[in-house]
Amino acid sequence: MRLIPVDAAVRSAPGVRWAMAGVAVAVLAADQVSKSLVLAAQPAGVTGFGWVSVRLVRNTGASGSLASGYPVLVTLAAIAVTALGITLALRARTRGVALCIAAVIGGASGNLADRIFRAPGLGRGGVVDWIHFASGGGSLDLADLAIQFGVLGAIIALVVGGRGREVGEARQVSESG
């Protein structure tokens, strides 16, 4: 069993690898720059308008502050999830799925960078969340949005790609029969 299958999208054209790297790096950079800008501004309380506002929160737990008392465990889990994402991206069979998973990798890397490099220290840092929706719930950041939309996009690409393959196979059967 190969890590990268023969029919994987990253083997189809070298441009796919560069595009995946570009998407991941762009998401990571946008996430870290936006967090730096929000931290530099230090908004007091909640500032914003309408249904979205800026509220600075440091989350030491996973999504929804799950396991917030165990930041090192959450950091190790984040490393494992990021490695799994890289493996899935390399094994993806279509370009759309590979690019969407690259967005997930960029978002996971952005949050992982916070956990590793931000105070109070190595592997114990909190993710800087700053986007808050008026509907309630928690706060999030650009990395979280990239993860959520990347997963959604990958699912859609898989469904659409699967239907396209089924239609193509049905045409081949009807033409040969």
Query: Going residue by residue through the chain (177 aa), what tens digit of pLDDT does each one get?
Result: 567 777 777 777 778 889 999 999 999 999 999 999 999 988 777 677 778 888 888 888 777 667 777 888 888 988 998 999 998 888 888 889 999 999 999 999 999 999 899 888 787 888 999 998 877 777 889 999 999 999 999 999 999 886 655 555 555 656 665
**Neighbour order of strands in the sheet with 139-140:** 47-49, 52-59, 127-133, 139-140
115 is a domain residue: yes
1 is a domain residue: no
128 is a domain residue: yes
Closest-CA residue to 130 (of 65, 55, 46, 63): 55
Q: Note if 144 is an active site residue.
A: yes
172 is a domain residue: no
Report the domain count for the chain.
1
What is this structure's pTM?
0.84
> Can the peptide bond before residue 120 be classed as cis, meaning omega within 30 degrees of 0?
yes
Q: Note if 129 is an active site residue.
A: yes
Taken in order 9, 10, 16, 22, is the CA torsion positive or negative?
Answer: positive
2 is a domain residue: no
Catalytic residue among 31, 114, 129, 141: 129
Q: Please name the helix (run of DSSP H) or strand (run of DSSP E) that holds residue 158, with its range, or none.
A: helix 142-176
Tell the residue number behind the tokens 């929160």, with chain if given.
57
Task: Provide the domain limits for residue 121.
Answer: 10-167
Polymer length of the chain: 177
Catalytic residue among 31, 114, 141, 144: 144
Closest-CA residue to 141 (of 41, 33, 31, 37): 31
4 is a domain residue: no
